[in-house]
Amino acid sequence: RSELDRLMGEQANTEKMIRELSDQVASAEQAWATCLAGSRFDSEDAFKAAVIDREEQRRLETLKSDLDKECDAARTLEEKVASEHAAHLAKAAADASLENLAELDDSDGAGAARESLISEMASLEEDIQKRGRRQGEIEGQIRADETQRSNQAALFRDIDRQKAVYDSWGHLSSLIGSKEGDKFRKFAQGLTLNHLLYLANRRLTQLHGRYLMRQKEDEVLALEVVDTWQGDAIRDTATLSGGESFLVSLALALALSDLVSSKTRIDSLFLDEGFGTLDPETLDIALDALDNLNAGGKMIGVISHVEALKERVFARIEVSPKTGMGVSRLDERFRVRRGE
């Protein structure tokens, strides 16, 4: 049953398609009949008899193109002949006028008129000659101007090349040029300072991961500190506490040691005071850093009055002050007596 329904549906669709195609054919036939009735052909057979093949059509199109070209050439030749004919007629009329003027006598003022015309023509000829000479002068000036422009174009190109070189040197001069040499000195010092800050920040990260140093943007060879624990707040070095200043100074001192280590080996580091301003936490951080340096092969010397250092520094020399005159003496444990 389902197969029968399917076949019946297909039959219905086919019949519908046939009806649509029949309508299209009828419409096309009606349109063709209308076009044929409006043409100059009496019947369809007359139209078919007038149809030529493709090869004959191409031959006729080529022939038409050649005939069009010949017609254009003929029209051009006709216009040229007409122009020359008009010029010939104008010249003949001018010659006849001059002959007529020559035949006139002085009766009734004709001679005066002739003389006036001859004078006017002479004036016009002279004016034409002057204008011709002026035209020649202007053309000469134009040619000279074109030559100068060509020469100037090459000169301008050379100027542009030289200007590019000058701009390069000018830019370099604006960066490091001055008669006193201070710009170049500061430029070179700035490069060294940048390298030093790179090394110092590595050391400062090892000492305490909170701070970074960098150059000030609006001041040459001046430093500022970035506090990474405060949203990268920018702080002037004058606002640092005693412990913060000690860490920054220690990082810079170690960076200087790293900077010159490629040429000079520095195996010792001496710190004179500076520990008294440190809080216990910062003191432990600084001493841990010094212990690491000592373990890496550097000899660390510390001069301090801080008692807490005694617990961390075992190899030491203690000095006690004496009353008056600023004299100090070694502790008995560290004194070497004569004869010993």
Q: In which element (H, E) is residue 320 found?
A: strand 319-321
Closest to 125 measured CA to CA, from 94, 96, 165, 103: 94
Q: Cβ distance 176 to 185 under 8 Å? A: no
Assigned CATH for 181-263 = 3.40.50.300
Residue that the structure tokens 């990260």 belong to: 205
Look up the pTM and report it.
0.44
Return the pLDDT at 229. Answer: 87
* Superfamily name and number for 267-340: P-loop containing nucleotide triphosphate hydrolases (3.40.50.300)
Domain ranges of the chain: 1-36, 52-93, 113-176, 181-263, 267-340
Mean pLDDT by 10 residues, the chain (340 residues): 70 78 79 78 72 74 79 78 74 63 52 69 79 80 80 77 82 72 77 89 85 86 89 89 83 84 77 77 80 80 80 78 71 64
Bridge partners (DSSP) listed for residue 269: 300
Contact in structure between 223 and 240 (CB atoms under 8 Å): no
